[in-house]
Amino acid sequence: MAEAGGANSALMALCRSPELADGGQAVPFDVNYAGQTCRAFAVRFEGRPHAYLNRCTHVAMELDWQPNRVFDNSGQWLLCASHGAAYRPDTGACSGGPCQGGLVKIDLSERDGLVFWHTSYKLKAIEF
Ligand code: FES
Q: Is 80 in the pocket of ligand 1 (CB under 6 A)?
A: yes
Ligand 1 centroid distance, CA of 34 (Å): 21
Q: Which domain holds residue 85?
A: 11-105
Ligand 1 atom closest to Cα of residue 60: 1
pLDDT at 128: 74
Number of domain units in the chain: 1
Alpha helices (H) in 17-71, listed in sequence order: none
Closest Cα to atom 4 of ligand 1: 83
pLDDT at 1: 45
pTM, entire model: 0.93
pLDDT at 65: 85
- 79 falls within a domain: yes
- 56 falls within a domain: yes
Q: How far is the C-alpha of 67 from the C-alpha of 21, rounded, in Å?
A: 15
Q: Which residue, 68, 66, 77, 18, is CA-closest to 42?
A: 68
- 57 falls within a domain: yes
Ligand 1 centroid distance, CA of 84 (Å): 6
Q: Is 81 in the pocket of ligand 1 (CB under 6 A)?
A: no
HSE at residue 83, side-chain half, CA atoms within 13 A, is 11
- 120 falls within a domain: no
pLDDT at 127: 83
- 17 falls within a domain: yes
- 128 falls within a domain: no
Mean per-residue pLDDT of the chain: 94
Specify the CATH number for the domain of residue 59. 2.102.10.10
Q: Enumerate residues 6+ apart whose C-beta is below 8 A from 44.
A: 20, 21, 22, 23, 24, 50
Closest Cα to atom 1 of ligand 1: 59
- 95 falls within a domain: yes
Q: Which residue, 118, 121, 97, 99, is CA-closest to 109?
A: 118
- 52 falls within a domain: yes
Closest Cα to atom 3 of ligand 1: 83
Q: Which residues of the chain have pLDDT under 70?
A: 1-7
Mutate to test the pocket of ligand 1, among 61, 65, 70, 79 (most ligand atoms within 8 A of CB): 61
